[in-house]
Chains A and B, each alone.
Chain A
Amino acid sequence: MNAALEIRHLRLELDGTYILDDISLMVERGMRLMVVGPNGAGKSSLLKCLVGVHRGWQGRIVVNGVDIRGYSNRERARLIAFVPQPGGRHSPFTVRETILMSRYPHVSHFGTLSHADHELVKDALARTGLGPLADRPMVTLSGGERQKVHLAAALTQQSPILLLDEPTTFLDPRHAFEIRSLLHRINQEDAVTIIEVSHDLNTAALDGDRIYALNEGRPAFYGPGDDFLSAEVLKKVYGRSFLLGVHPQTGGPVLVPERCEL
């Protein structure tokens, strides 16, 4: 049994329309899956079904061979961690407090955080290079730093599956690259299964083992990144053709920004 997560005929209806319509997908253990698609395609909704935010879906989601509805909230959180879309919301907590909170599923209601919990937080701070910022309030951090905190928090949750909703959006190239290499290491060294929503097709093709494209709630493509970056597939998913070039390192296809014509 090699599937970390299996989705069968998933449907999500909100306000009378199907946000997700008959999604079936198997994610192997240790895989890094990139979910792409136009705005409003249902990418975030898919993650939100997996993580318990949306609850009214039909179909089956199986994690570790067990239906996800069979897990308690805490049990599910011990299996699946989530980094929400970066938003404008500011938190009054410090970096350390924010990361420590993610130990919640491992602590019983009347239990207290142990020395081991604090050690895990220290590890996560060190791995993400946030050590010097540990006691800074979140509001004083830059967007990139804040995103690292959320990643460190999810790591501290120690779940074998990690979901991320556009983790590099809004970040400058340096911070975006740091987050990407961090995720690469988490995936390779810790064998964490990653499902990541992204709008950056080039990095999705480079980083992902597989690409899963959604369009209007329906599956539009599943396969390797190099196959995804082809004229026909892009036209099918995004409804127009794009300029393609060759990546100087990999020799694979890469999306090149076009000049706007009048």
Chain B
Amino acid sequence: MSRGSVLTILFVIAVATLILTPFLGMSTITPLDVLGIGTGAGGVDEATIFWRLRVPRVALAFLAGASLALGGMIFQALFRNDLATPFTLGVSSGAALGATTYLRLGWSFAFLGVDGLTMFALVGAALSMALVHGVSRSRPDDSGGSLLLAGVAINFTLSSLILFVHYTSDAAQSFNILRWLMGRLDVVGADEVWTLLPLFLTGGLATLILHRELNLMTVGEEFAISRGVDARRTRTLLFLGTSLLVGGVVAVCGPIGFIGMMTPHIARLLVGADHRRLAPASMLLGGTMLVICDLLARSLVAPAEIPVGVLTALLGGPFFLWLLTRRPGAGTGRS
């Protein structure tokens, strides 16, 4: 099967998932219900559940999954390392610390249509991004081991800060923070979708335009520069874009882990390493995967829900270990 047709199949699967999943869940909704012809069980208007809860949730899950996959793919290319993602290098934790601080402060404001939580998360993401960037610049020849160790250190430090902020908060704030930290997609209405959509479209478009630069940077920075790539500008642009993208997702959904690491890998196995195909494949796969994870999260133990971040971490942890042990040195310098 050609790699182009694999991409088509991924697209078809994504569209089918997007169409089907809003009908599934705690209660199955039929197309007739949505059209208002069916009988609403228990007096709840099925059409309202469908349009106000299910559709925005599925759309949000898809956008978040696609954005995280894109962020992971970009990091893997720029750091030339399989395990480098915004999540493993602490950018998500930075966004989470920002958001946690906002929740602890108990503030509630919006500026230019962006709410405070998102802003705090974006600032947190940008700061930890700058930190990662600084570490990677201080060891330009080493894209593997020390970078990931720095990521571990950054994650540990930020996690303790999050714990500290959490500890000093009162019961109500504490519940908000904890629930938020587990990753959530249970939204009402489409506001969150509209917050994320422009970020995602910008990031997606940028990677589609920069696919050649991403390819060259994946081979090596000197390789890219000698072919005429402005490596510094490309790096800065992509880092900024990724912080925005990941910060936005974390602000809306909490730190949902491992989607960003797993899906670009699976996509690479399916369509190869060329970013012209890898970028759309990662986005489609990331979106589809998070939608399905979310479907499982809200149906497995219905009427209760498993936080989706817990579910993705349960899948992602073993995947991480598999990547590490797949072959010697896989974690330190490949890709």
Which residues of A approach B to under 8 Å, CB–CB?
A: 48, 51-53, 72-78, 80-82, 84, 87-94, 97-98, 101-102, 104-105, 107, 109-110, 139, 157, 163
B230, CB-defined interface residue at 8 Å = yes
Binds A, one of B29-37, B214-222, B309-317: B214-222
- Judge whether A51 and B333 touch: CB under 8 Å: no
From A73, which residue of chain B is reached at the shortest CB distance?
B228
What is the minimal beta-carbon distance from B195 to any residue of chain A, in angstroms?
A: 30
- Judge whether B218 and A91 touch: CB under 8 Å: yes
Residue among B228, B268, B334, B335 with most chain A CB within 10 A? B228
9 tightest Cβ-Cβ pairs between the two chains A and B: A77-B228, A82-B226, A92-B273, A74-B228, A105-B228, A73-B228, A104-B227, A51-B226, A84-B222
Beyond contacts A84-B223, A101-B216, A109-B209: 15 other A-B pairs, Cβ-Cβ < 8 A, are A51-B222, A77-B227, A78-B228, A80-B226, A82-B226, A84-B226, A91-B218, A91-B219, A93-B273, A94-B273, A97-B272, A97-B274, A101-B212, A101-B219, A104-B216
Specify which chain A residues have a CB less than 8 angstroms from the CB of B209 in the assembled complex.
109-110
B229, CB-defined interface residue at 8 Å = yes
What is the minimal beta-carbon distance from A161 to any residue of chain B, in angstroms?
A: 11
- Judge whether A98 and B219 touch: CB under 8 Å: yes
A88 to B143, CA, bound (A): 11
A89 to B143, CA, bound (A): 9
Can you list 8 pairs linking A and B with CB atoms under 8 Å apart?
Answer: A53-B226, A76-B228, A91-B220, A92-B273, A93-B218, A94-B273, A97-B274, A104-B216
Specify which chain B residues have a CB less than 8 angstroms from the CB of A76 in the assembled complex.
228
From B232, which residue of chain A is reached at the shortest CB distance?
A55
Specify which chain A residues have a CB less than 8 angstroms from the CB of B273 in the assembled complex.
91-94, 97
B54, CB-defined interface residue at 8 Å = no
- Judge whether B226 and A52 touch: CB under 8 Å: yes
What is the minimal beta-carbon distance from A35 to any residue of chain B, in angstroms?
A: 17
- Judge whether A92 and B335 touch: CB under 8 Å: yes
- Tally of A-B residue pairs with Cβ under 8 A? 82
A78 to B143, CA, bound (A): 28
B225, CB-defined interface residue at 8 Å = yes
Specify which chain A residues have a CB less than 8 angstroms from the CB of B220 in the assembled complex.
84, 87, 89, 91
- Judge whether B333 and A97 touch: CB under 8 Å: no
Q: Is the interface of A mostly helix, strand, loop or mixed?
A: mixed
Specify which chain A residues have a CB less than 8 angstroms from the CB of B333 in the assembled complex.
88-90
Which residues of B approach A to under 8 Å, CB–CB?
A: 80, 143, 209, 212, 215-216, 218-223, 225-230, 268, 272-274, 333-335
A51 to B220, CA, bound (A): 14
From A80, which residue of chain B is reached at the shortest CB distance?
B226
Residue among B215, B227, B274 with most chain A CB within 10 A? B227
Q: A90-B335, A93-B273, A94-B272 are in contact. Are A157 and B227 (CB under 8 A)?
A: yes
Residue among A93, A98, A104, A110 with most chain B CB within 10 A? A104
Among candidates B212, B216, B218, B229, residue contacting A92 with C-beta atoms closer than 8 Å = B218
- Judge whether B212 and A104 touch: CB under 8 Å: yes
Specify which chain B residues have a CB less than 8 angstroms from the CB of A163 in the assembled complex.
226
A230 to B222, CA, bound (A): 35
A76 to B226, CA, bound (A): 8
What is the minimal beta-carbon distance from A185 to any residue of chain B, in angstroms?
A: 22
Specify which chain A residues have a CB less than 8 angstroms from the CB of B80 in the assembled complex.
89
From A83, which residue of chain B is reached at the shortest CB distance?
B226
A52 to B223, CA, bound (A): 11
Specify which chain B residues have a CB less than 8 angstroms from the CB of A98 in the assembled complex.
219
From B327, which residue of chain A is reached at the shortest CB distance?
A139
Q: A90-B335, A98-B219 are in contact. Are A52 and B212 (CB under 8 A)?
A: no
A94 to B273, CA, bound (A): 8
What is the minimal beta-carbon distance from B215 to any residue of chain A, in angstroms?
A: 6
A80 to B227, CA, bound (A): 9
Specify which chain A residues have a CB less than 8 angstroms from the CB of B335 in the assembled complex.
90-92
What is the minimal beta-carbon distance from A80 to any residue of chain B, in angstroms?
A: 7
- Judge whether A101 and B215 touch: CB under 8 Å: yes
A90 to B331, CA, bound (A): 11
Specify which chain B residues have a CB less than 8 angstroms from the CB of A82 in the assembled complex.
222-223, 226
Specify which chain B residues have a CB less than 8 angstroms from the CB of A75 in the assembled complex.
228
A110 to B276, CA, bound (A): 12
What is the minimal beta-carbon distance from A255 to any residue of chain B, in angstroms?
A: 30
What is the minimal beta-carbon distance from A256 to any residue of chain B, in angstroms?
A: 35
Q: A89-B143, A92-B273 are in contact. Are A104 and B334 (CB under 8 A)?
A: no
Specify which chain A residues have a CB less than 8 angstroms from the CB of B229 in the assembled complex.
73, 104
